[in-house]
Structures are given as structure tokens and as C-alpha cells.
Structure 1
Amino acid sequence: MQDLSIHLTPVHIIYLIGVVTILSTMVLRKDTPIVCVIFIFILGLVSSGNLVGGIQSTFQAILYASKEFMEIIATIALVTSLSKCLTDLGSDYLMMRSMSKIMKNSYVSWWILGITMMIFSLFLWPSPSVALVGAILVPLAVKKGLTPIAAAMALNLFGHGIALSSDVVIQGAPSITAASAGIEPQSILQSGFPLFLTMGVVTIFSAFIINRKCMVDKTGGTLYMQSNDAVPSIKPSKEAVFIAILTPLAFIIDIILMFVFDLKGGDATSLVSGTALLVMIIASVIGFKRKSLEKVTDYIKDGFLFAIKIFAPVIIIGGFFFIGGEGITSILGEQYQSGILNDWAIWLAGITPLNKYMVVFIQMVIGGLTGLDGSGFSGLPLVGALANTFGTVVNCSVPILATLGQISAIFVGGGTIVPWGLIPVAAICNVNPLELARKNLLPVGIGFLCTFILACILI
């Protein structure tokens, strides 16, 4: 069983104060990088015992976060580069025109965007799906009057929420959780199905009802289409038509290759990103001929400038929260082998009086707490182990507890609540990740409440 004893140190106390301070700053709608740097410095100072260690820790945290985010940064940059090229050629309008009859208005667009994202995410995982779905469907949804923030919510809640938390196709999440809980993944998927269904349905409908008024762009959704206003009245070139056909075809081939070679996660993201780069180069050569060399350079610059602009503050914030997880060893030193957030979660479980209902509450809280590092998956071994421990101690359903921990960990950390976990969606939709997190907070909170009540009944 999971050992629920843990020794808390001054580093643990300082980190908890830092988390509360940062979250409070976010609630006040203020930027947090300076707060994060201060607490990283204090943690480094206390853990090393000297000023040099404190100063070095600030850079080590930023460096670690940069490495962790680099895959996402590059993906966003390359997809943005392709998007700019398609816009200049007019190919993006041609691609989206075929979907215009289906996506009739902002509300219909929201559901189509979300459901498409969920389907792709179930088979490919959300990271590559954001690039695939977002690059093609988001501009059309915005053109139909859907606000960028509402589009981001659809991608986020359907993909990083419903699809990733259940993971019924790839089964990466339930496999990790089940292994730690000492049960089979199918036990989580079968016994936990009512919880997955409740969390998903309640969250999605809550988001739709609460945010209906802010889903409609009064300006007509021109954010993504500024350079294309005159495209419908101009006969498209043969080059633009060719690229409009080539681009979705290339990504369809990617999907086939993912199935054939069983590419998942980072491998799938790499395939999508590489395809975006190659298609952008081909489009530039075909569309701009002798100017293509300069055009490709410009598009790559624009893409990376956009990605870095979005990620710069998030790298600082991520540096602090990675100390709460596996990044602590690289940032503060080899003497730390366990993430601070995990230690706090174990401590909380060890001091709380246990009964069935309290166990359900603790499991949900601990799952969310471990998700604060922005991963979602890093806390799954812990919630699985605790499900086994709690289920044995109070004689309740281990699969239900494991499912509950998995849902809360991934909904919080997988990319619907913590801003540093939902950057890919925010970048694709060109919205503030903090604002997106605020919009998600209430519907996800309602989903948690209903799921908690159902778990208490089923336990």
C-alpha cells in the first residue's frame, strides 16, 4: 500500500505559500512571472543554503521549463507559419469554404469544432489534434461569428478535458492509473464510465449555457480573416487551389500513418509539425516562385516570434510549477527526488480522518493538486496508489476512486484549468491563456461537483 507518511520541510512550506500567492495573483487578474521568480529564488536559496544557489535556481527553472515547452513552441510556430502562407495565397479560404454550409452559425460551429476535436483527440491525443483541427476549423468558426475565446474553450474542454481524461482509445491514462491501483485498465473504463460521462456532459453543457452570450462576435469574426475579405470576389489561382487540396490531404495521410505505425503523443506531434513545415515550403515555392526563399524565411520568423511571444511568460510560470513535480531534481538538485506537490498530497491523505465520503473528497483534491504542475499525467501513479490504499482501508470501490483521481488530475493539469497547461490551444486561437483558464473554471467546477456527488453514490 501507499506509504502515507511524509516529512515536511521549510521548502515545502515556502512552495505552498508560493502556490497560494500565485493563484491569488491570477484571481486578481495580475501577471505572475515576477512572483514566480521571487519564489523560485527563495526556494533555491533555502534548499542550497547560499545566495549563489538561489540565483542559479532561477535560471535552472527557466531552462528546464524551456526544454519541456520546446516541442509545443516549435509545433505552434510551424503551424502558424503554414497558416500565414495559406492566408497569403488565399488557400485557407478555399479550404474552409467546403465546411461553411455545415457550420451555419457560431453555436453550431462551437459544437462541430468541439466534437471534431474530441474525435481526433481520442485517436491522436490532444497535442497533435490542436494543430490539425485548430489550423483548419478555427478560422472558419471565427468567420461564422464564434469568438476566439469560445473556440478555444471548445477545443480545450472536448479535447484536453473529455478525450484526454477518459482516454478510451489509446488507454495511456487508465493504464498508468490502473497499474498503480493494482487493477486492470478495463476496470477503470467500465466501472468509471458513469463518472467520465457525467464529468464530460455536465462540463460541456455548463460551458455552453454559461458562455452563450460571449460566443457571438459582434464584429463578424474578422480576427483570422483580415487578409481574405476580398478573396470570394476574386477568382482563385491554380496554385491556391492546388495548395488548398494538398494541405488537408497531407494531414489526412498523417492520420493514416499514425494508425499504420501506431504513432502517439510526441511522435504524432512531430509528424504533424514536420508536415506543416514541408507543406509551407511547397506552398511557398509553388505560389511565390523566385521569392520563395525569402518568403519561407519570413514565415518561419513570424511563426517563432508568435510562439515565443505567447510562451515567454509561461516559461517563467512553468519554471516554478515544475518544481512541484519531476523537475525538482533538475532545478534544485539531486537531494530532491520527489515533487513537492506529490509530497503535500501524501501528507494531506495521511492526516485526514477517513470514511467513504471523505475518501472521495480527498481523492478528488489530491488529483487536482498533482495536476497543478501542468502535466496531468504525472499525478496518475499517485492517485492510483492512493485509490488502492483508500479502497482497502474503508472498503470501497478502488476503480471508482482511481477514475475520480484520474479525472481531476487530467482536467486540472491536462489543460483546462492551469494556464501553463493550456498554452497550445490559447496560441492556436490567439487568446490569453489566463482568460481561457478563467472561462473554463466555472463549468469544470460544476462538472467536478456533479461527478463528486455521483462518486459518493457509487462508491
Structure 2
Amino acid sequence: MIELTTLHYVYLVFILLILGIMIKKRDCSLICIVGIFMLAIISTNSLSLSVIGVFNSFIYAITELLPTILIISIIVSLSKLLTVTGINEVMIRPFTKLIKNDVLAFWVIGITMMVISWFFWPSPAVALIGAIFVPVAIKAGLPAIGAAVAMNLFGHGIALSSDIVIQGAPKLTADAAGVPVSSVISATIPLIIVMGLVTTITAFILLKRDMKRGTIINEVVSDPSMETVDDEACSKDKLNNTWKIIFSLLIPILFIFDVILMIFLDLKGGDATALIGGTSIFLLMLISLKTFKLGALEKITGYFIDGFQFGFRVFGPVIPIAAFFYLGDMGFVKIIGEYLPQNSTGIVNDLGYVLAHSVPLNNVVSVATLSTVGVITGLDGSGFSGISLAGSIARLFATATGSSTATLTALGQICAIWVGGGTIIPWAIIPVAAVCKVSPFELARRNLVPVAIGIIATSIFALFLL
């Protein structure tokens, strides 16, 4: 039996503080660092180990985020080169015929992101959509924050939480719930339709309302090192129109070829992202060599430096937040050591477990509890670490009330991944925010109301399916 300790209550208090500060639109790095130190001092009773734990938490967070930082930095490097050479203008010209206004931009970006994410997960999809569609969308009148919301909700929300192709999430929850994977997928489909429609339509309505009022916050993240006007002016003339057209065709062809390789080689997740990243590196080198000739040796390095400066500038504020939320999972052991309470499976999972065993059992309470457990376990920013717990709790409640195990399991899975998989927790939405050059905190705030409304609507709908 798991019992809550001071460690659990302190973690919960700091989560509430962090959320409150984010709502107030203030930076929460200081609170996260203090939270890490407090958790370490409570668990170890050692000042020196606690100080070491703060630094180690940063190392752990950077290590976990490094692949994402790398792919974003490379994509930004390539995007800058395409801009200063004028290739980007030639590339996006055909898409302007399809994406003629902000409405089409929002839905075309979202649906494309969803489809690609179903097959390869959102990470490589972010790189592809960011490189090709986002510039077109912005030119059509959709703010960068609007493009980020569409990519985020459709990719990290709808596609990742349903996972109907790769089936990684349904497999975890189904095994924990003791039901076939197919039954969880079947139960997920009607729920994700409701969740997806309510969330994306709400987000779009709020976006249009704020655009009309002129109050939309569109904080574009910029970096002085990326603003090379002189470089752009002289580089556009170094490639003639023929070569610009050749490269504008070569880039999407190579990315499409990557997609074909992903299918035939069964590359998903990190491997798929690495394929996109490697292709981007070779494109950057090839275009630089053609554009700058002998000067390409220095230019290639310069573009990489610019990309990494941008990547770490964007990710820097998020590292303390990531470090804190990693402590909620079994990352606690790797960061601070074997100091978790006995029988603990992670602070966040413990909180969800205790909540599930502290309420009366009926259909309404079952749905409310599974939704809450999903949200709580999603707070570690993974979305996947807690879905096994959601499956176990769904089985417990379904057995006690005679309701559908698969439906409760699917509900817990959807809530956990929507929150932790990348639409609410700021450090989890960094890839989309970085590609669209918007503040991850602003993106999280803009997602909060639509996702909350979606979870409530989906939970109510789930009652009718039990």
C-alpha cells in the first residue's frame, strides 16, 4: 500500500505554484530550482547532496532534451540558409495556391501534422511541417502562434493520444488493464473524435476572436545572431533562378523519400527524427557549397553555430522546468538517488494511485477519477509514464462498477497524453514552439482552455459509453 509522505505534498505544492506563476505570465525557473532543492533536502537530509542534486537535475534534463534541441537547431540552420538564398520564397510559392487565408492555413497544417504524426509520431512531423508549411501559413495571415497551436493540438494531441498506427500507447494501457489492444483502440476512436473536435474548434474560435480584437499575443522568439540582413541581400544574388527552382524541388523530394524510407524500414520516433535531421544536414552542406563555393567551409560552420545558439536560447528557460518535472517520475532515482519512499513508483504515480483509492466507486466517480489521474500523471511531461497506472486503475474501477474497462482505459490514456505528451506542460511543447519561433509558455497558455474544455466534454461523453 502506497502512503503519501512529505515529499509528495511538497511536490504537489510546487506544481500548483508553478502553474499559478505560468498563469500570471511570469518566469518560474526560480520556483523550479527551489522545488528541486526542497525535494532533495527532504529525501536526503543532506545539504551537499541537495546542492549536487540541483546540478544533476539540470544535466539529466539536458541529456533527455538533447535530441530535440539538436533537430530543432539543425532545422533552424537550414531554414536560415533557405531564407538568405531565396530558395524559401520559391518553395512556398506553390503552397500559397492551396493555403490562401488563415482559416485554410490552420486546418491544412493541423490535418497534415496529424496524419504524419500517426505514422511517425510528432517529432519528425514537426520538422517537416515547420520547414515547408509554417512560412506559407504566416504569409497567408495566420500568426505564428496559430500555426504552433494547430501543429500542437493535432500532432501531440490527437495523433499521439490515439496512436492508432504505431499503437505504442494503447499497448501500454491495454497490458496494464488486462484487455486486448484492439479493444482499447476501438474505445479510443469515439473519445478522440470528441476530444479532437472540441479542442481544435475551441482553439480556432479563440484564436480568431483574439486576432479580430488585435489582442493576440504572438511573441516571436528572435535571436540577433539570426538576423543577418546584409548576408541575405548578397546571398540571394549568388543563386540564379534555375538553381533556386532545382533546390526548391530537391528539398521536398528528399523529405518525401525520407517518408518512404520510414515506411519500408519501419523507422519511428527517434530514428525517424534522425533521418530528417541527417537529410537536413546534407541539404545545408550541398546548398552552401553551391552558393558560397570556397567560402562554404566557414559558412556551413556559421549556420550550425547560429542554429545551436537559437536552440539553446529557446531551450534555456525550459531546462529548470524539465528538471523539476523529471523528479516526478523515476528520473528521481537517477537524479537524487534511491531516496524514494518504500513501494513508490514515482511521486506523480503515487499521487494518482492514492487519489484512485480514496474515492467511492460509481460510473461518474470512475470517469472523473480516470480523467484526473490522467491529468496528474501527465504532469511529469512524458504523457507515457503514467498511462500504465491509468490502465490499472481503469481495470479496478470497471471490475467494481461493471463498466467498460476499455473505455475507462482510453479516457485515462487520452487525458495523460494530451497534458503530458505535449500540449500543456511547457517543456514538452518546445519542438513546436521552437520551429514556429514563439514562446513555449504562451503556447501552453493558449492551449490550456481548449484542452481543459475538451477533457471535460470527453469525460461527459465517456459516461454514455460505459
TM-score above 0.5: yes
Name the residue aligned to 1:251.
Answer: 255
Q: Does 1:335 align with 2:344?
A: no
Q: Is the 8 A contact 1:371 1:413 kept in 2?
A: yes
Within a 5 Å distance, the mapping from 1:315-330 to structure 2 comes to 315-330=319-334
Deviations 1:127-167 (A, max 9, x none): 11000111111011101111010010000011111111111
Q: Which amino acid aligns with 1:310?
A: V
The 1-side partners of 2:360 and 2:209 are apart by 44
Q: Is the 8 A contact 1:114 1:159 kept in 2?
A: yes
Q: Is the 8 A contact 1:314 1:420 kept in 2?
A: yes
- Identify which of 153, 163, 167 aligns with 1:157: 153
Which stretch has the larger CA shift, 134-143 or 186-195?
A: 186-195
The 2-side partners of 1:19 and 1:93 are apart by 44
Within a 5 Å distance, the mapping from 1:201-240 to structure 2 comes to 201-215=197-211, 236-240=240-244
Q: Is the 8 A contact 2:162 2:188 kept in 1?
A: no
Name the residue aligned to 2:400.
Answer: 393
Name the residue aligned to 1:373.
Answer: 380
Q: TM-score, normalised by structure 2?
A: 0.93
Name the residue aligned to 1:61.
Answer: 57
Partner secondary structure for residue 207 of structure 1: helix
% identical aligned pairs: 45
Within a 5 Å distance, the mapping from 1:374-453 to structure 2 comes to 374-453=381-460
- Identify which of 95, 103, 125 aligns with 2:121: 125
Name the residue aligned to 1:275.
Answer: 279
Q: Structure 2: where are the runs of 5+ without partners?
A: none
Q: Is the 8 A contact 1:147 1:217 kept in 2?
A: no
- Identify which of 90, 93, 101 aligns with 1:94: 90
Deviations 1:172-195 (A, max 9, x none): 111111111111111012133211
The 1-side partners of 2:240 and 2:206 are apart by 41
Q: TM-score, normalised by structure 1?
A: 0.95
Which stretch has the larger CA shift, 330-339 or 393-402?
A: 330-339
Partner secondary structure for residue 208 of structure 2: coil
The 2-side partners of 1:137 and 1:230 are apart by 26
The 1-side partners of 2:242 and 2:308 are apart by 29
Name the residue aligned to 1:196.
Answer: 192
Q: Is the 8 A contact 1:93 1:231 kept in 2?
A: no
Give how far 1:50 is off.
1.2
Deviations 1:9-48 (A, max 9, x none): 2211211111111111111111000001011111111111
Within a 5 Å distance, the mapping from 1:95-110 to structure 2 comes to 95-110=91-106
Q: Is the 8 A contact 2:84 2:235 kept in 1?
A: no
Give how far 1:442 is off.
1.1
The 1-side partners of 2:105 and 2:211 are apart by 10
Within a 5 Å distance, the mapping from 1:164-175 to structure 2 comes to 164-175=160-171
Give how far 1:234 is off.
12
Q: Is the 8 A contact 1:146 1:215 kept in 2?
A: no
Q: 1:330 to 1:233 in 2, by over 3 A?
A: closer
The 2-side partners of 1:139 and 1:84 are apart by 12
Q: Which amino acid aligns with 1:383?
A: A
Q: Which amino acid aligns with 1:81?
A: S
Name the residue aligned to 2:10.
Answer: 14
Q: Which amino acid aligns with 2:354?
A: W
Let me know the Cα RMSD of the aligned residues.
2.3
The 2-side partners of 1:141 and 1:211 are apart by 14
Q: Which amino acid aligns with 1:239?
A: W
- Identify which of 128, 134, 140 aligns with 1:144: 140
Q: Does 1:348 align with 2:352?
A: no
Q: Is the 8 A contact 2:100 2:140 kept in 1?
A: yes
Deviations 1:41-95 (A, max 9, x none): 1111111111101101101111110011001000100000110111111111111
Deviations 1:77-130 (A, max 9, x none): 000011011111111111100111111011111111111111111111101100
Name the residue aligned to 1:307.
Answer: 311
Give how far 1:239 is off.
2.7
Partner secondary structure for residue 165 of structure 2: coil
Give how far 1:334 is off.
2.2
The 2-side partners of 1:153 and 1:399 are apart by 29
Q: Is the 8 A contact 2:84 2:236 kept in 1?
A: no
